[in-house]
Amino acid sequence: MNFEEKLQQYAKLVARCGVNVEPGQDVVLRCPVVCQDFARMIVKELYEAGAREVIVHWNDDQIARMRYDYAPMEVFEDFPQWRVDSLLMYAKKDAAFISITGTDPEAFKGVSPEKMTAAGRASDKANKEFYDMMLCSQFKWNVSAVPSEAWAKKVFPDVPVEEAVKKLWEAIFNTLRIGEGDAVERWLEHGRILNEKCRMLNAYQFDSLHYKNSIGTDFTVGLVKNHRWEGGSDTAANGIKYFANMPTEEVFTMPDRMRADGKLVSALPLCYEGNLIKNFELTFENGKVVDFKAEEGSDVLERMLNMDEGAAYLGEAALVPCTSPVAQQNILFYNTLFDENASCHFALGACYPTNLLGGADLSDDELKARGGNISMNHVDFMVGTKDLSVTGKTADGREVQIFKDGVWAI
Ligand code: ZN
Ligand code: ZN
């Protein structure tokens, strides 16, 4: 398959599997201006699959950066209602949402942290209804990635920029199983395998998981009662399946907000708001991060943990074998969409309500009472190594090895 054919397969994958667009449905596409060529291909695929209207919201890293550098603080404390409506109105009409990421991982390096925090808070607060709907799969959504020059150069700093972009495209195609046969069919089969892992884990209903490896992770996390493992495709409120992330290699569930103890050591750097946090470790007591250390980006980590009350508690526990196609690329993508699919991870911040049986119908307070975590943040960080073992413990004390040497043991 040549490059153009692979690209075409990718656009088809996003439209047909990612949001699985239905005839007559509206789709909102959010995309950086540097990805205009691929955006056009997706839009065409969407219309050909029967979309009623595709609404495109363009964004640009450099302009966003200028706004942070020049605009006064008050600009970031306010989030206008029309921008909320530009998403919420379509969400309520059962539109599907596609976000293309591909931005420079260090686009916002050095920006005033006060402005970034204010902007994040204002946006999260104003868009709460939209994000709540999203977390509960009220509508279909998908995040996919396209290489920008800045991103490619960050991943492959030692080669000329055109070559870096090409290499990043190929890496992305590999992670998406594009290159042989029909990508849509291969992707659906992959989704079925992940669904099967979830079915097995759900049957065990583990009370807690214990993580251990040679770089210092020794950690026990409780899982909420009636938790659900999810992975592969999601099912939206209208009953239609979709893939929220592409690639996806994880199965994930809801940790108990109040039951996490021990130490987690990072296996990969974390990119948060355009800043890198490297070689860090987190110590938990009764669910909360009570101590942390980072070789680089300690101040960013501290800001992240203090974003709000829930930001220092876990909201997601995810299992990914270290042999996944993403891990096999052997590169740091500096993009959570990829890096989280190379390694077992946790997320600090908001839980996914759908990881609890009936969770989507609960209020924030009810969710919290059941062990779910509420936060404006949701930040994945990687802990999976080639020697990681994960052992599950059932409510009656039975121990089952789930991961051994970084891969599935069940
Ligand atoms: Zn995850
Ligand atoms: Zn996550």
Give 129-177 as a DSSP string: HHHHHHHTTSS-EEEEE---HHHHHHH-TTS-HHHHHHHHHHHHHHHTT
How far is ligand 1, taken at its centre, from the CA of residue 82, in Å?
31
161-175 helix and 3-13 helix, angle to the nearest 10 degrees: 50
Nearest ligand to the CA atom of 252: 1
Q: Mean pLDDT throughout 170-184?
A: 94
At 199, is the pLDDT very low, low, confident or very high (cuts 50, 70, 90)?
very high
Contact assessment for residue 408 and residue 323, using Cβ atoms and an 8 Å cutoff:
no
Residue 367 carries which side chain, given as an amino acid letter? L
User: Is it the case that residue 90 has pLDDT exceeding 80?
Assistant: yes
Residue 341 carries which side chain, given as an amino acid letter? N
Write the pLDDT tens digit of every residue in 365-377. 999 999 999 998 9
How far is ligand 2, taken at its centre, from the CA of residue 316, in Å?
6
How far is ligand 1, taken at its centre, from the CA of residue 379, in Å?
9
The whole-angstrom separation of Cα 73 and Cα 35 is 30
Task: Please tell me the predicted confidence (pLDDT) of residue 336.
Answer: 85
Q: Mean pLDDT throughout 100-123?
A: 89
Mean pLDDT of the chain: 95
User: Is it the case that residue 360 has pLDDT exceeding 80?
Assistant: yes
How far is ligand 1, taken at its centre, from the CA of residue 381, in Å?
9
- Contacts for 116 with CB less than 8 Å, ≥ 6 apart: 68, 76, 108, 273
Residue 15 carries which side chain, given as an amino acid letter? A
Task: Please tell me the predicted confidence (pLDDT) of residue 105.
Answer: 81
How far is ligand 1, taken at its centre, from the CA of residue 405, in Å?
20
Provide the percentage of residues in the chain whose pLDDT is more than 70.
Answer: 100
Q: Mean pLDDT throughout 319-339?
A: 92
User: Is it the case that residue 301 has pLDDT exceeding 80?
Assistant: yes
Task: Please tell me the predicted confidence (pLDDT) of residue 102.
Answer: 86
Nearest ligand to the CA atom of 251: 1
The whole-angstrom separation of Cα 15 and Cα 287 is 39
User: Is it the case that residue 274 has pLDDT exceeding 90?
Assistant: no
Pairing of strands 96-101, 378-382: unpaired
How far is ligand 1, taken at its centre, from the CA of residue 339, in Å?
10
At 103, is the pLDDT very low, low, confident or very high (cuts 50, 70, 90)?
confident
Nearest ligand to the CA atom of 349: 2
The whole-angstrom separation of Cα 340 and Cα 105 is 15
The whole-angstrom separation of Cα 347 and Cα 251 is 13
Question: What's the half-sphere exposure (Cβ side, CA atoms, 13 Å) at 173?
Answer: 21
Nearest ligand to the CA atom of 344: 1
Q: Which of 15-19, 25-29, 336-340 has the lowest mean pLDDT?
A: 336-340
Q: Which of 191-200, 241-250, 258-267, 269-278 has the lowest mean pLDDT?
A: 269-278
Question: What's the half-sphere exposure (Cβ side, CA atoms, 13 Å) at 17?
Answer: 26
The whole-angstrom separation of Cα 135 and Cα 353 is 7
At 315, is the pLDDT very low, low, confident or very high (cuts 50, 70, 90)?
very high
Q: Mean pLDDT throughout 208-228?
A: 98
The whole-angstrom separation of Cα 332 and Cα 43 is 30
Which residues are found with C-beta within 5 Å of the ion, ligand 2? 316, 347, 380
Beta pairing partners, 276: 271
Write the pLDDT tens digit of every residue in 59-85. 999 999 999 999 999 999 999 999 999
Q: For the chain, what is the largest distance between any 2 Cα atoms, rounded to a whole number of angstroms?
A: 59
At 143, is the pLDDT very low, low, confident or very high (cuts 50, 70, 90)?
very high
How far is ligand 1, taken at its centre, from the CA of residue 348, in Å?
11
Contact assessment for residue 267 and residue 343, using Cβ atoms and an 8 Å cutoff:
yes
